């Protein structure tokens, strides 16, 4: 699995994951970071589908202009009601054939469950559609969890290395919040390992509140202790998990880190 090595991509990754830890929606976060992803991918619109059992949920889709949104309005469709079963089935077949970057010169599979072939053809011809690129995303256990897609109009085309950088960024962002067992993405998904013997009961309570994006003052008030006491407990938690930030802590906790 790819690691985030590009410095600018790494900076964006940290910012995005920090926003998720603070409780912002993934769609709002990627809309705010859209300019960077458009620049890196050269795409005209991009999005993320995460698997839910045999189907998929569109977590977000962002575009430079309004051609896709205008099409949805024309045919009385909404993003959250779009069906992608055929697209996901085809993309899974690509994964089974070890394809990490899948290219398609039409949108028939992507939109075929929602629109007729003639309507899709009309959209493509009137907007100078070029290609759609699909890239699978995986969990830490290398389990397929979803697909990134990038669509290009006119003379715009993709750069494989740049798209793989974005893939690594998105995987790093979503893995701590994706429940592989139940196929659920939750931006506030918190997994506290009760079997970790090195954490005291009080430290476990503070850890839960900390990862719920509560401030030191809020934690202190809820636990009826001083802010300095909270800071001391958090310092001990960081030391036991061998981390230096809340982001590192969340990654270790949600990836199932354990002590023997």
Contact yes or no for 27/60 (Cβ under 8 A): yes
Please tell me the distance from the alpha carbon of residue 260 to that of residue 256, in angstroms, as a whole number: 13
Contact yes or no for 166/8 (Cβ under 8 A): no
Percent helix, strand, coil in the chain (nearest 5)? 50, 15, 35
**Res. 204: pLDDT tops 90:** no
pLDDT tens digits for 74-85?
999 888 788 899
Contact yes or no for 134/102 (Cβ under 8 A): yes
Strand boundaries in 112-256, DSSP class E? 129-138, 144-153, 178-179, 184-185
Average pLDDT over residues 56-75: 91
* Assessment of whether the complete model's pTM goes beyond 0.75: no
Which residue did the predictor score with more confidence, 5 or 118? 118
């Amino acid at each position: 699995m790819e690691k985030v090595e590009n410095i600018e991509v790494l900076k964006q990754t940290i910012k995005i994951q920090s926003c998720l830890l603070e409780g912002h929606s993934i769609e709002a976060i990627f809309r705010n970071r859209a300019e960077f992803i458009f620049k890196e991918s050269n795409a005209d619109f991009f999005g993320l589908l995460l698997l839910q059992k045999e189907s998929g949920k569109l977590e977000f889709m962002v575009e430079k202009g309004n051609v896709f949104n205008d099409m949805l309005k024309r045919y009385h469709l909404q993003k959250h009601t779009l069906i992608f079963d055929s697209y996901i089935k085809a993309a899974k077949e690509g994964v089974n054939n070890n394809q990490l970057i899948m290219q398609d010169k039409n949108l028939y599979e992507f939109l075929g469950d929602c629109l007729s072939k003639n309507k899709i053809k009309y959209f493509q011809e009137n907007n100078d559609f070029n290609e759609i690129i699909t890239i699978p995303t995986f969990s830490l256990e290398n389990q397929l969890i979803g697909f990134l897609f990038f669509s290009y109009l006119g003379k715009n085309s993709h750069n494989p290395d740049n798209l793989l950088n974005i893939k690594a960024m998105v995987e790093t962002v979503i893995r701590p919040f994706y429940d592989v067992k139940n196929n659920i993405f939750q931006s506030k998904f918190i997994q506290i390992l009760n079997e970790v013997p090195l954490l005291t009961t009080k430290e476990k309570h503070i850890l839960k509140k900390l990862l719920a994006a509560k401030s030191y003052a809020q934690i202190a008030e809820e636990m009826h202790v001083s802010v300095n006491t909270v800071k001391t407990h958090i310092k001990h938690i960081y030391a036991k998990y061998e981390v230096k930030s809340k982001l590192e802590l969340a990654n270790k906790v949600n990836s199932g880190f354990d002590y023997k």
